[in-house]
Amino acid sequence: MQEKSKTEEVFLFYRTKRDEHSIILQHLKRHIHNTGSLRLLLIAGMIITLWFCRGYGVPVLVTAAVAFFIPFLILVVYHTKLFAKRAYEEGIINLCENELKALNYDFSAFDGAADQTDSQHPFSLDLDIFGEKSLFQSINRTVTSIGKIRLADWLKKPLSNRQDILSRQQAVKELHSKTVFRHDFYVAGEKQQNSDRDVRQLNELSSQTTHFSESVRWRLLIWLIPAAWILAIAALIWTDVPFGLFFVLFILGLTVANIHAKRITKLHQTVDRMNRLLSVYARLMEQIEHENFDSGILKNRQQALVSNNLTASKAVKKLSAIIGGLDQRFNMAAIVFNLLYLRDMRHVMQLEKWIKAHSGHFNAWFDTLAEIDAFCSLGSFAFNHPDYIYPSIADHYFEMEGSALGHPLIHRDTCVRNRINIPVNRYFLIVTGANMAGKSTYLRTVGVNFLFSCTGMPVYAESLTVYPAHLITSLRTADSLVSNESYFFAELKRLKMIIDRLNNGEELFIILDEILKGTNSVDKQKGSIALVKQLIKKGACGIIATHDLMLGSLADIFPEHVRNKRFEADITNDELSFTFQLRDGIAQNMNATFLMKRMGIFEDE
Radius of gyration of the chain (CA): 33
Q: How far is CA 108 from the centre of its chain?
A: 15
562-567 and 427-433 beta bridge pairing: parallel
Task: Please give the pLDDT value at position 223.
Answer: 76
- Asked if 162 and 395 touch (Cβ cutoff 8 Å), the reply is yes
β-partners of residue 471 are 509
Q: Can you tell me the distance from the alpha carbon of 404 to that of 420, in angstroms, rounded to the nearest whole number?
A: 8
Task: Please give the pLDDT value at position 198.
Answer: 66
- Asked if 443 and 472 touch (Cβ cutoff 8 Å), the reply is no
Q: Can you tell me the distance from the alpha carbon of 477 to that of 136, in angstroms, rounded to the nearest whole number?
A: 21
Where residue 263 falls among pLDDT bands split at 50, 70, 90?
confident
Q: Can you tell me the distance from the alpha carbon of 263 to that of 347, in angstroms, rounded to the nearest whole number?
A: 13
Residues 265, 267, 272, 275: what is their CA dihedral angle, to the nearest 10 degrees?
-130
569-572 and 463-466 beta bridge pairing: unpaired
Q: How many CB atoms sit inside 10 A of residue 288's CB?
A: 23
Task: Please give the pLDDT value at position 239.
Answer: 74
Q: How far is CA 471 from the centre of its chain?
A: 22
pTM passes above 0.85:
yes
Q: Is the pLDDT of residue 473 over 70?
A: yes
Decide: helix, strand or coil at residue 210: coil
Q: What are phi and psi of 195, to 5 degrees?
A: -155, 170
Q: How many CB atoms sit inside 10 A of residue 484's CB?
A: 8
418-422 and 400-405 beta bridge pairing: antiparallel
Per the rule left: phi > 0, alpha: psi between -120 and 50, beta: everything else, 411 is beta
Where residue 484 falls among pLDDT bands split at 50, 70, 90?
very low
Most confident of 77-86, 179-188, 432-441: 179-188
Classify residue 552 by its DSSP letter: G
Decide: helix, strand or coil at residue 586: coil
- Asked if 304 and 311 touch (Cβ cutoff 8 Å), the reply is no
- Residues 163-219 pLDDT 10s: 999 999 999 999 999 999 999 999 998 766 666 666 666 666 666 666 776 667 777
| Position 605, amino acid | E
Task: Please give the pLDDT value at position 599.
Answer: 47
508-513 and 541-546 beta bridge pairing: parallel
Residue 488 burial class via C-beta count within 10 angstroms: exposed 0-12, middle 13-18, buried 19 and up = middle
Where residue 520 falls among pLDDT bands split at 50, 70, 90?
low
